[in-house]
């Protein structure tokens, strides 16, 4: 099995300001293999691949192709070297057709021969078994169709090396199977493929070899046949971790929030949350499981009044027994009704925090209305900011540093710290430990448990199923916007949750 | 770590990187350098076009701007107008609402002011008339700011283009009114309103014709500084300007904030209209705002909402303008030389912000050196 | 000639200058640059063309009209393109705010035009009223023969060559944007520069080229006004606010140059309608001049209400693009 190397990376280092994204990475891709790059969120997988595709330039190190050193200054250079990357966030232009997107930036006749181009694209579609109409506009397409366009785009350019960044995060299991079949076809025709992922099972399913990154550093590679889940996990996360999360039994749970047949549509009119019904109790942590993009974000935002609700109800049961229908209210209305909820949204800097403001001013986001004066009070928020910096170990040059300059983990701590400081009755958190190291993650888990013990109803979306099962009291599983199961966290298993996460309910959309 | 390989990779000659922060002193040095460079370029242009000694010309500019007390007061008066409009625009820009409509908002305020001077000029005492003028002109500017804000907040209509068009609607309303107010007949101008009785004119305060102008604009400046920095509404403006999603998350009513802020912005523009009409020109025409609604946008933006910087930038621009008008007449040049010079200075000031925000590195091919 | 024929003829005459400006602004905006400097650029084009012809005519005893036309065309195009180049350097390379730079450019350009327009005669040694009648006569030359046909002649064939150039440019630009490869690339730069960049399109190059060429085209609008419309003279601020009308026309035409052709005639018609409506008082005439702006506002509101994807401004309009920004 000693194939020639298609790509060789030597000693690649990339920094963003003070943050080191990749440090001295060495990596080889052999011809005609499928290589998985495995790593936790924030381990530098995407940054590394972006240097191959010309989005970033390495600060140090060399890239070799077929034994020759190359320098890739732009995506164009990458394409000239027949490297094509399919990004996690699709780089497509909405108002153009699939065919127009596919030929974008290519040389050729000045006047477009649309019919001929579409014919060529149809050939690719047929030869690999894709399903796509080349003259369809992107804004009319589903996510998997858009991904298809991205892959064909790279193939049309004759790429020999394909890099796929988390391609399955947005796909249903059937779509994933289809994609893997296509990737295998490509390998047969001699292409080399890199697939970035953090899902172990997929790594074992599809790849020939696995390379592991941890905190920006290269940890080595293993042939998939010799790899085990345990071994890979260890390489990925470092020392073997035994989860030890504090979890007491709920004390006197009372109904706090009732979500009844909630339906939310996205901009394209697709039901991203589909008749979801569940309850959340005080003194209890409710976990939400699901593949990324199954409607978790929209569900939480709809409850917080930030998404337009198509149908259904959200009812808040106050401690004094009063019922307030939240689904009729704006965030302002919810606030005015005296509902005390906290929300850590998925999009930290785009929704939860103001990037250009310092920590103190960000603390004010929740409390600036306090008091009758028309002027704001900065003393209390400043004290809160200092407390959070100290207690959660936020690394920052000072309270006056704009939060956008902080690293992802520290941004996260600031946000979670503020939301918990509100002493909420309902606390909703999306991916509370994304970007955090293990220690900080545990600190956050324990904070959530503390909130639960103080009688708060906690709802959290967590990617890591092990954590979810050990931290939560109950779990609901979302798949394609629908609830596929409600489980007792103490009795369920990872496998059971995993199956429900991919259990498609036949109705399509 | 393995050994570091030889670096043969070609790096681009110039790399630009965003600075983390820059000492305020360095930033100001860069800006001052830009102004000096601009003046040098202007000097070359002057020599090329007029063959005059540029030093003499600059001395002439200084003389023209502050050569005697009358000229100095005109310069101060015009600085105040530019400053006031820039102050008016600041809350809108801080909210990232592109109010290009200051020209029209000022004109509408001026129009309200002129209308009151003409129709009720001799019917009420002057203090009452002035108060009425302030209220009416503010309201007129508010309406002109409210219309685009309403469509922006409810239908996301592009505010840059909307407010731009509103300027020309305002100008046409003025030419319409001039038809009725023209004096002397057939001149197509309004002439000095209430020249004899001075009804609706600003009174002399602190021994100066423009005393009230100074007081009003400085109050507005300080007020706006406090409003943006210390009030709850000012805080809301900052949040909306940074991210509307965050604002909604923080239970801020974004539509309300947009409309409220534009009403304030337009209102102050309208008030500035009354300061121009009642406090300075005592007449109305389509050039009452005279492009200052546009120049103020540049002033506000370049000062990054800092009122102190705004005073400096307005002063620099007006100083150069008044000075150039003077040398233009002195040397028989066209008075539009001032716009030319203003333009060049603006280009340099705008361009230098890049060097304040970005670090430019020239990379040489070097081996092993970091 | 009956009054309607004259009206149409005059409306087209008014519209062409705006059409040049709008065509130039459309390809500029298609690259994601909102160039509010277009009014200034049009002044720059107008005065540069006039000066080119003027110095040429003054330098020779027997000026050849054709040479005058070529010189003025080049001067107008290059000077306007230079204005757009200043804008490009400041917004694309120096990443300054587009609105601010555009407005500064308009201040500069209008000053530039009026300054040289006012001092050109002094610079040439005090020759009095500037006139470039030799060159202008060729600009104003109608199509021989065809322009004499009744009704059709005046409406279709009674214009100088710049009028037809304007229409041809607009039609070609529509074809370019819709049917050519580089047009597709340009649209993608304006819609989503990051995507265009990833596809290997030189975003900076396209932005520069579109903005500079767009500026040059807009400058021809100023030249048209000076030469064909005014017959080779300059009056300060004579061009008025037509530059802003050009920006309004871009919106009205929904970023499609071929729609801008009829839009420009319509705007021209609004501009002069008041003269042709009998019995209008002077004040009512002024209100009529408001119509183009009101119509533009209406179009702006309607497109934002209908929200049809194809009719929206280019998605990245007004935004700077910097690849490594994060």
Question: Across the strands, what pairs with A97?
Answer: A137
CB contact under 8 A, B343 and C282: no
Closest CA relative to residue B261, chosen from B289, B296, B227 = B227
* Tokens 């400041």 found at: C90
**Among A90-94, B4-8, C283-287, which is the least confidently predicted range?**
B4-8
pLDDT band at C57 (very low <50, low <70, confident <90, very high): confident
**C124, C288, C291, C297: which to substitute to probe chain B, counting the most B Cβ within 10 Å?**
C297
pLDDT at A508: 40
Output the pLDDT for position B369. Answer: 38
Q: Note whether A335 contacts B245, CB cutoff 8 Å.
A: no
B219: confidence class by pLDDT, cuts 50, 70, 90: very high
CA distance C43 to A473: 72
Residues near A508 by beta carbon (within 8 Å), at least 6 away in sequence: none
The complex's ipTM works out to 0.87
Q: What is the mean pLDDT of residues A467-478?
A: 90
| Structure tokens, C312 | 């929206």
Comparing B292-306, C67-81, C110-124, C256-270, which segment has the lowest mean pLDDT? Answer: C110-124
Which residues on A lie below 8 Å from B235 (Cβ)? 361, 364, 368, 376
Q: Which residue of A has its CA nearest to C203?
A: A105
Q: Which residue has the higher pLDDT, B205 or C269?
A: C269
Query: Residue C95 is nearest to which of B98, B100, B354, comparing CB atoms?
Result: B354
- Is the pLDDT at B291 greater than 60? The verdict is yes
Which pLDDT value is given to residue A175? Answer: 80
Mean pLDDT of the residues in chain A: 85
Residue B149 falls in which region: left (phi positive, over 0), alpha (psi -120 to 50) or beta: alpha
Give the per-residue SS3 of A393-448.
CCCCCCCCCEHHHCCHHHHHHHHHHHHHHCCCCEEEEECCCCCCCHHHHHHHHHHH
Closest chain C residue by Cα to residue B344: C108
C175 in B contact zone (CB under 8 Å): no
Identify which of C117, C281, C301 has the shortest CB distance to residue B151.
C301
What residues of chain B lie within 8 A of the CB of A61, using their CB? Answer: 5
User: What was the pLDDT predicted at A509?
Assistant: 36
Q: Is A338 on the interface with B (CB under 8 A)?
A: no
Q: How buried is B330 (Cβ within 10 angstroms: 0-12 exposed, 13-18 middle, 19+ buried)? A: middle
Q: How confident is the model at residue B260 (pLDDT cuts 50, 70, 90)?
A: very high
Name the 3-class secondary structure at A329. coil
Question: What global pTM score does this model have?
Answer: 0.85
- Output the CA torsion sign for C116, C122, C127, C129: positive
Summarize pLDDT for B315-353 with one digit per residue, the tens. 998 988 888 888 777 777 777 777 888 888 889 988 988
Residue A496, SS3 per DSSP: helix
A132-155 average pLDDT score: 89
Find, in chain B, the residue whose alpha carbon is nearest to that of C284. B176
Give pLDDT tens digits for A322-369: 888 888 888 888 888 888 889 998 888 888 899 888 899 999 988 888
Residue A217's nearest CA partner among A188, A202, A237 is A237
Minimum Cα–Cα distance from C194: chain A residue = A91
Q: Is C294 on the interface with B (CB under 8 A)?
A: yes
Instruction: Name the segment(s) of chain A with CATH classification 3.40.50.300.
Output: 5-237, 241-340+423-509
Q: What is the pLDDT of residue B370?
A: 37
**CB atoms B249 and A330 under 8 Å:** no
Q: Which residue has the tokens 């080229």?
A: C209
Residue A272 clears pLDDT 50, i.e. is over it? yes
> Which fold, A241-340+423-509?
Rossmann fold (3.40.50)
**Which tokens in the block code for residue B276?**
């121009």
Q: Please provide residue B241's backbone torsions phi and psi, each rounded to the nearest 5 degrees.
A: -65, -30
pLDDT at A114 over 70: yes
CA distance C251 to B261: 26
Range scoring the smallest mean pLDDT among A36-40, B248-252, B324-328: B324-328
Question: What's the mean per-residue pLDDT of chain B?
Answer: 85
- Tell me the two tokens of residue C102: 């555009």
Which of the residues C104, C308, C323 would you substitute to probe the B interface, choosing the one with the greatest number of B C-beta atoms within 10 Å? C104
Quick one: closest CA in A to C176, which residue?
Answer: A111
Q: Tokens 């700011």 belong to which residue?
A: B145
Structure tokens at B236: 């809301």
Average pLDDT over residues C93-101: 90
Q: Looking at residue C224, what is its pLDDT?
A: 94
Answer yes or no: do A104 and C195 touch at CB < 8 A: yes
Tell me which chain B residues have a C-beta less than 8 angstroms from the C-beta of C105. 343
At CB < 8 Å, which residues of chain B contact A? 1-2, 4-5, 7-12, 20, 230-236, 238-239, 242-243, 245-246, 248-253
Task: With beta carbons under 8 A apart, name residues in chain B contacting C43.
Answer: none
The answer on pLDDT for A48 being more than 70 is: yes
User: Is residue C180 scored above 50 in pLDDT?
Assistant: yes
Written as six digits, the tokens of A277 are 């019904």
d(CA A494, CA A462): 13
pLDDT at residue A507 tops 60: no
Please report which confidence band the pLDDT of residue C73 belongs to, taking 50, 70 and 90 as the band edges. Answer: very high
Read out DSSP for C84-152? HHHHHIIIIIS---HHHHHHHHHHHHHHHHHHHHHHHHHHTT---S---HHHHHHHTPPPTTGGGSTTH
Residue A112 has its nearest CB partner, among C179, C194, C195, at C179
How far A84 CA sits from the closest chain C CA (Å)? 10
The pLDDT, as a whole number, for residue A2 is 54
B358-362 and B14-18 as β-strands: parallel, antiparallel, unpaired? antiparallel
Domain C3-311 in CATH 1.10.3470: yes
Question: If contacts are CB pairs under 8 Å, which of residues 192-211 in chain A contact chain B?
Answer: none
- Chain A touched by C205 (CB under 8 Å): no
Q: Do C286 and B162 touch (CB under 8 A)?
A: no
Q: How far is CA B275 from CA A35, B115, B224, in A?
A: 72, 14, 17
Contacts of A194 (CB under 8 A, 6+ apart): A29, A34, A35, A36, A37, A49, A161, A162, A163, A164
CB neighbour burial string for A56-71, b if at least 16 within 10 angstroms, e if fewer: bbbbbbbbebeeeebe
Q: Cβ(B95)–Cβ(B252) under 8 Å? A: no
- Cβ distance of A69 and B8 shorter than 8 Å: yes
Give whole-number Cα distances, C136 to B58, C126, C161, C275, in Å.
39, 21, 11, 26
d(CA A306, CA A296): 13
Query: Is pLDDT of B22 > 90?
Result: no
Q: Which residue has the higher pLDDT, B318 or C275?
A: B318
Most confident of A282-296, A327-341, C156-170, C205-219: C205-219
Cα dist from B321 to A472, A508, B43, B60, whole Å = 70, 68, 15, 12
DSSP 8-state assignment for residue B332: T
Q: How confident is the model at residue A436 (pLDDT cuts 50, 70, 90)?
A: confident
Out of C185, C310, C324, closest to residue A104 by CB? C185
- CA dist., res. A488 & res. A469, Å (int): 9
Q: Determine the distance in angstroms separating the CA of B148 from the nearest CA of chain A, rounded to an integer.
A: 24
Q: Give the tens place of pLDDT for each residue, B261-279.
A: 999 999 999 999 999 999 8
User: Which two structure tokens, joined as six digits, stand for B20?
Assistant: 């983390």
Find which of A71-80, A292-301, C177-186, C242-251 is predicted with most confidence, using mean pLDDT.
C177-186
Residue of B nearest to A343 (CA): B249
Rounded to an integer, what distance in angstroms lies between the CA atom of residue A133 and that of residue A113? 17
- How many Cβ atoms are within 10 Å of A95's Cβ, its own excluded? 18
Of C181, C185, C194, the CB nearest to A91: C194
Please write the tens of the pLDDT for every residue from A165-200.
888 877 766 788 888 999 998 898 888 999 987 677
Most confident of A427-436, B348-357, C283-292: B348-357
Percentage of residues in chain A having pLDDT higher than 90: 28
Note whether B251 contacts A332, CB cutoff 8 Å. yes
Sheet holding A271-281, edge to edge: A271-281, A255-265, A311-317, A323-325
Instruction: Compare CB distances from C297 to B162, B172, B291 and report the shortest one's residue.
Output: B162
Residue in A with minimal Cα distance to C190: A93
Average pLDDT over residues A146-151: 91
User: What does the alpha-carbon distance between residue A14 and residue B26 come to, in Å, rounded to a whole number?
Assistant: 29
Report the neighbours of C using a cutoff of 3 or more CB pairs below 8 angstroms.
A, B
Greatest Cα-to-Cα distance within chain B, rounded to the nearest angstrom: 92
C319 close to B (CB below 8 A): no
User: Which run of H or of E encompasses C44?
Assistant: helix C38-59
Question: What is B32-93 written as a DSSP string?
Answer: HHHHHHHHHHHHHHHHHHH---HHHHHHHHHHHHHSSHHHHHHHHHHHHHHHHHHHHHHHHH
Q: Are B306 and B239 in contact, with CB atoms under 8 Å apart?
A: no
pLDDT digits (tens, 9 = 90+) for B130-163: 999 999 999 999 999 999 999 999 988 888 889 9
How much helix, strand and coil, in percent to the nearest 5, is found in chain B?
Answer: 70, 5, 25
Nearest residue of chain B to residue C115 (CA atoms): B336
pLDDT of the residue at C1: 58
pLDDT at residue C50 tops 70 = yes
pLDDT digits (tens, 9 = 90+) for C208-264: 999 999 999 999 999 999 998 888 888 777 777 889 889 989 988 989 999 999 999
Are the beta carbons of B164 and C244 separated by less than 8 Å? yes
Partners of A330 on chain B (C-beta within 8 Å) are 251, 253
Q: Which of C55, C83, C100 to mutate to test the interface with B (most CBs of B within 10 A)?
A: C100
Do residue B169 and residue C297 have CB atoms under 8 angstroms apart?
yes
Collapsed DSSP state (helix, strand, coil) of residue B17: strand
Strand, helix or coil for residue A224: helix
> Residue B364 above 60 pLDDT?
no
Average pLDDT over residues B25-35: 87
Distance CA C267, CA C273 (A): 10
Residue C13 CA to its chain's centroid (Å): 13
Q: What is the rounded distance in angstroms from the CA atom of residue C222 to the CA atom of residue C227?
A: 9
Structure tokens at C271: 């501009």
Q: Which of residues 209-268 of C touch B (CB under 8 A)?
A: 236, 241, 244, 247-248, 251
Chain B residues with CB under 8 Å of A361 CB are: 235, 238
pLDDT score, position B20: 66
Q: What is the pLDDT of residue C121?
A: 65
β-pairing verdict for A5-16 and A217-223: unpaired
* CA angle, residues B127, B130, B133, in degrees to nearest 5: 155
Between B3 and A401, name the one with better pLDDT.
A401
Residues 107-166 of B with CB under 8 A from C: 151, 155-158, 160-162, 164-166
Whole-number percent of chain A with pLDDT over 70: 94
Burial class of residue B128 (count of CB atoms within 10 Å of its CB; 0-12, 13-18, 19+): exposed
Two structure tokens written together for A338: 């005296």
Give all strands of the β-sheet with A482-488 in edge-to-edge order.
A341-344, A426-430, A457-461, A284-289, A474-479, A482-488
Look at residues C229, C257, C232, C38 and name the one whose alpha carbon lies nearest to residue C132: C232
What's the rounded Cα separation, in Å, for the pair A383 and A321? 34
Q: Judge: A105–C200 Cβ closer than 8 Å, yes or no.
A: yes
Q: Is residue B4 predicted with pLDDT exceeding 60?
A: no
Kindly state the average pLDDT of the residues C137-159: 80
A5-237 is classed in which CATH architecture?
A: 3-Layer(aba) Sandwich (3.40)
Q: Across residues C177-189, what is the average pLDDT?
A: 94
């Amino acid at each position: 099995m000693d194939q020639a190397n298609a790509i060789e990376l030597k000693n690649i280092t990339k920094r963003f300001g003070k943050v080191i994204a990749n440090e001295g990475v060495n990596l080889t891709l052999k011809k005609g293999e499928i290589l998985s790059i495995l790593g936790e969120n924030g381990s530098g997988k995407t940054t590394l691949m972006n240097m191959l595709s010309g989005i970033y330039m390495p600060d140090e190190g060399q890239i070799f192709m077929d034994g020759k050193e190359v320098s890739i200054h732009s995506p164009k250079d990458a394409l000239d070297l027949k490297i094509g990357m399919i990004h996690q966030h699709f780089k497509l232009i909405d108002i153009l057709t699939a065919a127009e997107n596919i030929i974008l930036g290519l040389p050729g006749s000045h006047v477009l021969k649309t019919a001929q181009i579409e014919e060529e694209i149809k050939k690719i579609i047929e030869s690999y078994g894709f399903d796509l109409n080349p003259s369809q506009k992107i804004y009319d397409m589903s996510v998997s169709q858009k991904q298809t366009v991205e892959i064909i785009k790279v193939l049309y350019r004759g790429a020999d090396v394909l890099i796929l960044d988390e391609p399955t995060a947005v796909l249903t299991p059937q779509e994933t199977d289809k994609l893997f079949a296509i990737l295998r076809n490509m390998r047969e025709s001699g292409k080399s493929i890199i697939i970035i992922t953090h899902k172990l099972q997929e790594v074992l399913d599809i790849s020939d070899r696995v390379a592991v990154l941890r905190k920006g550093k290269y940890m080595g590679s293993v042939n998939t046949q010799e790899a085990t889940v345990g071994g890979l996990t260890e390489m990925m996360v470092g020392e073997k971790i035994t989860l030890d999360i504090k979890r007491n039994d709920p004390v006197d749970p009372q109904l706090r929030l009732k979500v009844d047949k909630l339906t939310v549509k996205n901009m394209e009119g697709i039901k991203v949350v589909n008749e979801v019904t569940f309850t959340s109790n005080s003194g209890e942590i409710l976990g939400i499981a699901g593949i990324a993009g199954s409607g978790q974000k929209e569900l939480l935002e709809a409850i917080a009044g930030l998404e337009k609700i198509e149908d259904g109800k959200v009812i808040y049961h106050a401690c004094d027994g009063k019922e307030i229908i939240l689904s009729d209210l704006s965030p302002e209305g919810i606030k005015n009704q005296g509902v005390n909820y906290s929300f850590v949204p998925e999009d930290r800097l785009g929704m939860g925090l103001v990037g250009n403001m310092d920590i103190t001013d960000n603390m004010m986001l929740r409390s600036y209305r306090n008091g009758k004066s028309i002027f704001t009070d900065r003393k209390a928020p400043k004290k809160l900011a200092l407390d959070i910096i100290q207690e959660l170990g936020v690394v920052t040059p000072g309270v006056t540093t704009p939060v956008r300059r902080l690293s992802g983990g520290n941004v996260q701590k600031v946000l979670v710290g503020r939301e918990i400081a509100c002493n909420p009755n309902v606390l909703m958190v999306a991916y509370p430990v994304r970007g955090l190291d293990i220690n900080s993650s545990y600190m956050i888990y324990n904070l959530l448990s503390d909130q639960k013990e103080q009688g708060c109803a906690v709802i959290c979306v967590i990617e890591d199923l092990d954590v979810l099962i050990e931290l939560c009291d109950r779990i609901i599983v979302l798949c394609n916007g629908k609830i596929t199961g409600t489980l007792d966290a103490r009795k369920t298993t990872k496998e059971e949750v995993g199956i429900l996460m991919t259990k498609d309910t036949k109705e399509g959309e | 770590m393995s050994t570091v390989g030889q670096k043969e990779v070609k790096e681009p000659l110039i790399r630009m990187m965003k600075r983390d922060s820059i000492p305020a002193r360095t930033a100001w040095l860069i800006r001052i350098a830009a102004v000096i460079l601009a003046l040098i370029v202007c000097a070359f242009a002057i020599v090329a076009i007029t063959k005059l000694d540029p030093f003499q010309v600059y001395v002439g500019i200084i003389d023209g701007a502050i050569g005697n007390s009358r000229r100095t007061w005109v310069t101060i008066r015009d600085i105040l107008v530019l400053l006031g409009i820039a102050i008016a625009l600041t809350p809108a820009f801080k909210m990232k609402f592109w109010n290009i409509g200051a020209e029209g908002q000022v004109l509408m305020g001026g129009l309200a002011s002129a209308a009151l001077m003409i129709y009720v000029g001799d019917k009420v005492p002057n203090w009452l008339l002035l108060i009425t003028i302030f209220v009416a002109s503010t309201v007129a500017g508010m309406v002109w700011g409210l219309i685009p804000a309403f469509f922006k907040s409810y239908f996301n209509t592009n505010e840059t283009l909307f407010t731009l068009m509103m300027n020309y609607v305002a100008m046409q309303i003025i030419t319409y009114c001039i038809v009725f107010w023209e004096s002397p007949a057939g001149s197509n101008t309004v002439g000095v309103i209430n020249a004899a009785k001075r009804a609706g004119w600003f009174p002399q305060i602190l021994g100066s014709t423009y005393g009230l102008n100074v007081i009003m604009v400085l109050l507005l400046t300080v007020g706006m500084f406090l409003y943006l920095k210390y009030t709850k509404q000012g805080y809301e403006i900052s949040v909306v300007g940074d991210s509307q999603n965050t604002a909604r998350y923080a239970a801020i009513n974004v539509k309300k904030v947009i409309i409220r802020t534009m009403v304030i912005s337009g209102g102050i523009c309208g008030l500035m209209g009354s300061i121009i009409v009642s406090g300075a020109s005592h007449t109305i025409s389509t050039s009452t705002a005279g492009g200052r609604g546009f120049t103020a946008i540049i002033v506000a933006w370049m000062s990054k909402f800092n009122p102190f910087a705004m005073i400096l930038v307005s002063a620099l621009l007006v100083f150069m303008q008044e000075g150039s008008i003077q040398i233009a007449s002195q040397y028989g040049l066209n008075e539009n030389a001032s716009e030319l010079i203003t333009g060049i200075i603006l280009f340099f000031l705008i361009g230098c912000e890049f060097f304040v925000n970005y670090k430019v590195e020239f990379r040489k091919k070097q081996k092993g050196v970091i | 000639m009956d009054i309607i024929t004259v009206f149409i003829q005059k409306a087209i005459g008014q519209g062409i200058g705006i059409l040049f400006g709008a065509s130039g602004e459309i390809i500029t905006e298609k690259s994601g640059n909102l160039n509010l400097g277009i009014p200034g650029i049009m002044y720059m084009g107008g005065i540069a063309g006039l000066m080119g012809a003027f110095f040429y005519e003054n330098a020779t005893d027997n000026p050849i009209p054709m040479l005058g036309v070529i010189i003025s065309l080049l001067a107008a195009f290059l000077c306007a393109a230079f204005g757009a180049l200043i804008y490009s350097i400041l917004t694309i390379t120096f990443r300054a705010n587009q609105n601010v730079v555009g407005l500064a450019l308009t201040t500069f350009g209008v000053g530039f035009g009026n300054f040289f327009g006012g001092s050109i005669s002094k610079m040439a040694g005090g020759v009095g009223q500037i006139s470039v009648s030799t060159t202008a006569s060729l600009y104003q030359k109608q199509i021989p023969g065809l322009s004499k046909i009744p009704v059709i002649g005046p409406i279709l064939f009674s214009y100088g060559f710049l009028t037809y150039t304007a229409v041809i440019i607009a039609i070609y630009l529509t074809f370019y944007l819709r049917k050519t490869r580089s047009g597709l690339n340009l649209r993608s730069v304006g819609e989503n520069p990051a995507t265009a960049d990833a596809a290997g399109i030189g975003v900076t190059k396209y932005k520069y080229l579109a903005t500079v060429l767009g500026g040059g085209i807009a400058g021809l609008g100023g030249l048209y006004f000076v030469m064909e419309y005014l017959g080779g003279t300059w009056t300060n601020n004579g061009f008025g606010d037509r530059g802003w009308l050009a920006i309004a026309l871009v919106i009205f035409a929904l970023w499609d140059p071929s729609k801008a052709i009829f839009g420009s005639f319509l705007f021209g018609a609004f501009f002069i309608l008041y003269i042709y409506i009998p019995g209008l008082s002077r004040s009512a005439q002024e209100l009529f001049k408001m119509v183009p702006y009101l119509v533009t506002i209406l179009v702006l509101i309607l497109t934002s209400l209908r929200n049809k994807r194809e009719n929206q401004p280019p998605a990245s309009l007004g935004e700077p693009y910097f690849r490594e920004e994060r």
